């Protein structure tokens, strides 16, 4: 393993709301954020795309939405995936179980999933932005019925890097023992999913980080957390992802109750955090940097 410490710092939900867009641009311009993940069906996606073009050093990837949002496809084209209102289900676990059942047991289920995944990839391509990576809202991109579709489509759409959500549960609990039940459940599920995904991604030549931080601390990636991660960061390639916003976005409020978006912005632009990055010899990078350095 290389002695270098390289770190991608990502902001999710780019395009969901103006409050998110403003925070991501500020954290990139004035802080340590190197990357953003774009919701191509978000309420403020056009603004996000314009901001991304105006800040070309910000790497932008696709934030695949298959839960807690609306599709890129007309609902009539994916009737098995959406509710009567034409949106995806709000409960990620139940939605994931439903997708597994549809893909295995219902004729046309897998085809509808592929149709929607490709629709979001096409919509991203239409922005004219370089596809830096792919990840998923509530990490749904690692679903066993979704990841194979992304790998099938990777050559056509230039998917060369992907967030492999694996995080040390022990480290997360030592930092913050709140919501222990949720964190343990997440840890078990994503340990299995990352183990299942890793060989497939390697075989496909998809770049991933050695470790990803932020899942267990979702909505609370504050200064104390960033300083703790930086202090203990081992050699290798890592990603921290977070959910910055200048204020609670109305579009996300019911799914992100209790998130302290403002503290995440403060942390990303904190001089103490910047000093810690320098002191630890951490290189702030993007997924395209990692692809090119292979």
Q: What is the mean pLDDT of residues 160-170?
A: 89
pLDDT score, position 1: 41
> What's the pLDDT band for 283 if we cut at 50, 70, 90?
very high
Is the pLDDT at 112 greater than 60, yes or no? Answer: yes
Q: What percent of the chain has pLDDT over 70?
A: 99
Q: Are 284 and 7 in contact (CB under 8 A)?
A: yes
Q: What is the mean pLDDT of residues 180-195?
A: 88
CA–CA distance from 239 to each of 48, 86, 150, 212, 214 (Å)? 22, 33, 20, 5, 9
Residue 203 has what DSSP assignment? Answer: H
Q: Is 242 helix (H, G, I), strand (E, B) or coil?
A: strand
How many C-beta atoms surround the C-beta of residue 169 within 10 A?
17
Per-residue pLDDT of 229-251, as tens digits, reads 999 999 999 999 999 999 998 88
Task: Report the candidate in 98, 206, 225, 253 with the shortest Cα–Cα distance to residue 167.
Answer: 225
Per-residue pLDDT of 130-149, as tens digits, reads 999 999 999 999 999 999 99
Per-residue pLDDT of 1-41, as tens digits, reads 458 999 999 999 999 999 999 999 999 999 999 999 999 99
CA-based angle 194:197:199, to the nearest 5? 115
Q: Are 229 and 215 in contact (CB under 8 A)?
A: no
pLDDT score, position 253: 85
Per-residue pLDDT of 73-107, as tens digits, reads 999 999 999 999 999 999 999 999 999 998 888 88
The sign one gets for the Cα dihedral 11, 39, 103, 119 is negative
pLDDT score, position 173: 82
Helix boundaries (H) for the chain: 18-30, 45-54, 92-105, 109-125, 147-157, 169-175, 180-203, 223-232, 261-268, 271-279, 287-293
pLDDT score, position 238: 97
What domains are there in the chain, each with its CATH number?
Answer: 5-293 (3.20.20.370)
For the chain, what is the mean pLDDT? 94
Q: What is the C-alpha to C-alpha distance for residues 91 and 259, in angstroms, rounded to an integer?
A: 17
Q: What is the C-alpha to C-alpha distance for residues 88 and 75, in angstroms, rounded to an integer?
A: 10
> CA Rg, the chain, in Å?
18
Q: What is the mean pLDDT of residues 157-177?
A: 88
CA–CA distance from 36 to each of 22, 67, 106, 202, 211 (Å)? 12, 19, 35, 23, 18
How many C-beta atoms surround the C-beta of residue 157 within 10 A?
18
How many C-beta atoms surround the C-beta of residue 202 within 10 A?
12
Q: What is the C-alpha to C-alpha distance for residues 148 and 150, in angstroms, rounded to an integer?
A: 5
Per-residue pLDDT of 253-281, as tens digits, reads 888 988 999 999 999 999 999 999 999 99
For 146: left if phi > 0, alpha if psi spans -120 to 50, otherwise beta; the answer is: alpha
């Amino acid at each position: 393993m290389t002695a270098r410490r390289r770190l991608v710092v990502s902001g999710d939900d780019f395009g969901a709301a103006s409050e998110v867009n403003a925070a991501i641009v500020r954290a990139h311009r004035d802080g340590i954020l190197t990357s953003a993940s774009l919701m191509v069906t978000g309420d403020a996606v056009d603004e996000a795309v314009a901001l991304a073009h105006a800040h070309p050093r910000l790497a932008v990837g696709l934030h695949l939405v298959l839960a807690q949002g609306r599709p890129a496809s007309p609902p009539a084209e994916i009737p098995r995936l959406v509710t009567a209102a034409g949106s995806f289900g709000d409960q990620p676990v139940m939605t994931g179980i439903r997708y597994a059942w549809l893909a295995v047991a219902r004729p046309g289920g897998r085809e509808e999933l592929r149709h929607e995944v490709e629709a979001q990839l096409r919509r991203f391509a239409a922005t004219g932005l370089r596809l830096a990576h792919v990840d998923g809202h509530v990490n749904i991109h690692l679903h066993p019925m979704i990841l194979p579709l992304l790998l099938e489509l990777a050559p056509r759409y230039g998917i060369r890097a992907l967030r492999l959500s694996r995080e040390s549960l022990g480290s997360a609990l030592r930092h913050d023992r709140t919501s222990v039940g949720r964190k343990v459940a997440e840890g078990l599920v994503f340990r299995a999913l990352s183990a299942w995904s890793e060989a497939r991604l390697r075989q496909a030549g998809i770049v991933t980080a050695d470790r990803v931080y932020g899942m267990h601390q979702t909505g609370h990636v504050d200064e104390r957390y960033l300083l703790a991660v930086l202090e203990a960061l081992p050699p290798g390639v890592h990603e921290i992802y977070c959910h910055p916003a200048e204020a609670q976005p109305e579009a996300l409020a019911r799914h992100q109750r209790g998130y302290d978006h403002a503290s995440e912005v403060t942390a990303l632009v904190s001089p103490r955090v910047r000093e810690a990055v320098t002191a630890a010899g951490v290189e702030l990078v993007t997924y395209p940097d990692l692809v090119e350095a292979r």
